[in-house]
Structure 1
Amino acid sequence: MPREAQYLAVADVLRARILSGEWEIGERLPSRARLAVEHEVGRNVMQRAMDRLIIDGLLEGRAGSGTYVRTPRERLRLVRSRLRERREGSRPGPDRRERGRADAWDSHSQVRVPAPEPIAERLAINSGDLCVQTHYEFLADGQPVQLSESWEPMAITGETPIVLPEMGPLAGKGVVERMRSIGVVISRVVEVPRPARATQVQANLLGISVGDLVLQIERTIFDADERPVETADMVIPDVRREVVYEFGVDRP
Structure 2
Amino acid sequence: MAFGEQPAYLRVAGDLRQKIFDGVLPPHSRLPSQAKIRAQYGVSDTVALEARKILMAEGLVEGRSGSGTYVREMPEPARVLRAGNRVLGVGGPFRQEQADEQVKGSWESCSEQQEAAPAVAARLRIEPGGRVMCTRYVYRTDGEPAMLSTSWEPLTLTGRTPVMLPEEGPLAGQGVVERMAAIDVVVDNVLEEVAARPGRADEMAVLGGVAGHCVLVIARTFCASGLAVETADVVIPADRFHAVYHLPVR
TM-score (norm 1): 0.88
Structure 1 residues 144 and 89, CA, compared in 2 at 3 Å: closer, same or farther? closer
**What's the secondary structure of 1:186's corresponding residue?**
coil
* Aligned-pair CA distance for 1:32: 1.6
> Would you say the 8 A contact 2:91–2:176 is kept in 1?
no
Check if 1:249 corresponds to 2:240. Answer: no
Query: 1:134-145 to 2 correspondence within 5 Å?
Result: 134-145=135-146
Partner of 1:156: 157
Which amino acid in structure 2 is aligned with residue 58 of structure 1?
L
Q: Following the alignment from structure 1 to structure 2, what is the Cα–Cα distance between the partners of residues 243 and 147? A: 14
* Number of equivalenced pairs: 246
Larger displacement relative to structure 2 (167-176 or 47-56): 47-56
Query: 1:25-174 to 2 correspondence within 5 Å?
Result: 25-84=27-86, 92=96, 96=100, 103-111=105-113, 113-174=114-175
Partner of 2:182: 181
Partner of 1:227: 227
**What's the secondary structure of 1:155's corresponding residue?**
helix
* Aligned-pair CA distance for 1:89: 8.8
Q: What's the Cα RMSD here? A: 2.5
2:13 to 11, 14, 17: 11
* Aligned-pair CA distance for 1:93: 8.0
Larger displacement relative to structure 2 (49-58 or 131-140): 49-58
Q: Deviations over 1:63-120 (max 9, x none)?
A: 1111112223232111112334579996648785685xx8211101002x11111111
* Aligned-pair CA distance for 1:28: 1.3
Which amino acid in structure 2 is aligned with residue 27 of structure 1?
S
Structure 1 residues 48 and 198, CA, compared in 2 at 3 Å: closer, same or farther? farther
Q: Percent identity?
A: 40
Q: Deviations over 1:170-205 (max 9, x none)?
A: 000010100010011111111111111111101110
Q: Deviations over 1:180-235 (max 9, x none)?
A: 100111111111111111111011100111111110111111112x0111111110
**What's the secondary structure of 2:85's corresponding residue?**
helix
Larger displacement relative to structure 2 (20-29 or 160-169): 20-29
Q: Deviations over 1:42-67 (max 9, x none)?
A: 33333333233234332121011111
> Would you say the 8 A contact 1:75–1:242 is kept in 2?
yes
